């Protein structure tokens, strides 16, 4: 059974940093691209980042480029999202997901609140 | 960015057909691949993949869900609607980066 478990969320002040982790199981982690997708309270879904199988290629939308960094450890079956210079508009539930050009499994999500 | 437009809500009766549409601001098809996907999200839960590449049923999804379309116009059909299908449905395109989602269609009971 595929499982994706996110941790690391919480309340953080604007301008500070936070690092999310997502531990994967139930599939060959090193064979899949991994993604982070977020959802602001009461709002829709926004893709945040992608990483290829060996971690050599990463992608971001303009809204987080230069502030967020995705990485992975294939030995630990874990994908990370380092979030720096956080803003109030980054407040959301953050999901990790696996897939190809679509997202076939999602974690349960972790809440990040950016507020003073 | 490719903008995906969905109606905000759709009211249906149990046992009837629900048709949810998604219109893209430009084509999301490449040769025979239609790079539009559909997700279901219930309150407090993570999204679940229903349909990938416009018409392919994801693993474990009941056959009452189906998808169609190409180019800029896509449809998710639920027939017949069951009580467990009350949720918000999102389309997503992977034709161009950034991947984008529609704003979601909330399926409600009539």
Q: What is the pLDDT along chain A (116 residues), one digit of tens a residue?
A: 999 999 999 999 999 999 999 999 999 999 999 999 999 999 999 999 999 999 999 999 999 999 999 999 999 999 999 999 999 999 999 999 999 889 999 999 999 999 99
DSSP A52-92: -TTS--EE--TTTTTTEEEEEETTTTEEEEEE-S--GGG-E
- Average of pLDDT values for B30-38? 95
Any CB–CB contact under 8 A between A57 and chain B? Answer: no
Any CB–CB contact under 8 A between B54 and chain A? Answer: no
Using CB atoms and an 8 Å cut-off, which of residues 1-30 of chain A contact chain B? none
pLDDT of residue A101: 87
pLDDT of residue B18: 98
pLDDT of residue A35: 98
Q: What are phi and psi of A89, to 5 degrees?
A: -75, -5
| Shortest distance, CA B54 to any CA of chain A (angstroms) | 11
What confidence tier does B51 reach under pLDDT thresholds 50, 70, 90? very high
Using CB atoms and an 8 Å cut-off, which of residues 66-85 of chain B contact chain A? none
- Average of pLDDT values for B34-48? 98
pLDDT of residue A10: 98
Q: Which of A2, A43, A102, A110 should be substituted to probe chain B, the one whose Cβ sees the most B Cβ atoms within 10 Å?
A: A102
Any CB–CB contact under 8 A between B57 and chain A? Answer: no
Q: What are phi and psi of B24, to 5 degrees?
A: -95, 150
Cβ contact B47–A46 (<8 Å): no
The average confidence (pLDDT) of chain B is: 97
Q: What whole-number percentage of chain B has pLDDT above 90?
A: 97
Any CB–CB contact under 8 A between A56 and chain B? Answer: no
**Could you report the per-residue pLDDT of B80-109, keeping only the tens digit for each?**
999 999 999 999 999 999 999 999 999 999
């Amino acid at each position: 059974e595929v499982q994706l478990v996110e941790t690391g969320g919480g309340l953080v002040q604007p301008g500070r940093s936070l690092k999310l982790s997502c531990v994967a199981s139930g599939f060959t982690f090193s064979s899949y691209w991994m993604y982070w997708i977020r959802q602001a309270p009461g709002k829709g879904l926004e893709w945040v980042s992608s990483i290829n199988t060996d971690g050599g290629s990463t992608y971001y939308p303009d809204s987080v480029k230069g502030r967020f960094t995705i990485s992975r450890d294939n030995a630990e079956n874990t994908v990370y999202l380092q979030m720096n210079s956080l803003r109030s508009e980054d407040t959301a539930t953050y999901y990790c997901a696996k897939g190809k050009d679509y997202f076939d499994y999602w974690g349960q999500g972790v809440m990040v609140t950016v507020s003073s | 960015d490719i903008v995906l437009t969905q109606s905000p809500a759709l009211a249906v009766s149990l046992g009837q057909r629900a048709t949810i549409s998604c219109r893209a601001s430009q084509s999301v098809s490449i040769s025979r691949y239609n790079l539009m996907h559909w997700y279901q999200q219930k309150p407090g839960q993570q999204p679940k993949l229903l349909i990938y590449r416009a018409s392919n049923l994801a693993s474990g999804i009941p056959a009452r869900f189906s998808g169609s379309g190409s180019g800029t116009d896509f449809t998710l059909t639920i027939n017949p609607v069951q009580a467990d299908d009350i949720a918000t449905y999102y389309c997503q395109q992977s034709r161009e980066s950034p991947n984008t989602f529609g704003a979601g269609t909330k399926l409600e009971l009539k």
